[in-house]
Amino acid sequence: MKNSDQTSRSILKLSNLLEYLVYQAGESQVALIQEINLVKNYIDLEVLRYGNELNIQLDIEEVDQSVKTAPLILLPFVENCFKHGGKNKNGVFWIKVKIRVFEKVLTIIINNSKSKSKRTGKPDTPGVGLTNVTERLDLLYPGKYKLEIENSADFYSVKLELNIK
């Protein structure tokens, strides 16, 4: 019930996320900048949650307003960082997000640390979120994307190259 400085910011970020999900997610194409803003709002909420325990690096190149993509292509990869990531052996939870468009190819590289408790020692199988995103990519961009995933003991890495012509 106490009003903190973070309360109003959290509500605004959450409101922006929900507005996007209600009004934009059903579209066939959205401006890439809207997708990027969705990711930024989501990350801002997580930063409020984790505070100083999170080291996040965003490297997002300026994107032309005319560049379009299917909605909700980026967010599942970023959500996975927070769901499956954690503090590494040095006690640092880090996430790196790089987004760029060059010659109509959207490149997204997302890396995150993994906590010791997330290391099971058994081969990982793709979860529901990753399976759904891959199926959506197959439907929306058949033969027009390349998805590379590395799941090491200490970090998780996703690289998506998407031809958005």
Phi/psi at 89 (5° precision): -65, -20
* Total domains, the chain: 1
Is the pTM higher than 0.75? The answer reads: yes
Could you tell me if 112 and 88 are in contact, meaning their C-beta atoms sit under 8 angstroms apart?
A: no
With 0-12 / 13-18 / 19 or more C-beta atoms within 10 angstroms meaning exposed / middle / buried, residue 155 is: middle
Write the DSSP string, 62-105.
Answer: ---TT-EE-TTSSHHHHHHHHHH----TTS-EEEEEEEEEETTE
For residue 59, give the CATH number of its domain. Answer: 3.30.565.10
**How many Å apart are CA 137 and CA 17, to the nearest integer?**
22
Write out pLDDT tens, residues 1-23.
466 677 777 777 788 778 878 87
The CA-to-CA distance between both ends of the chain, in Å, stands at: 49
Write out pLDDT tens, residues 150-165.
998 889 999 999 998 7
Write out pLDDT tens, residues 113-135.
998 765 555 545 556 778 888 99
Q: Which domain holds residue 94?
A: 5-163
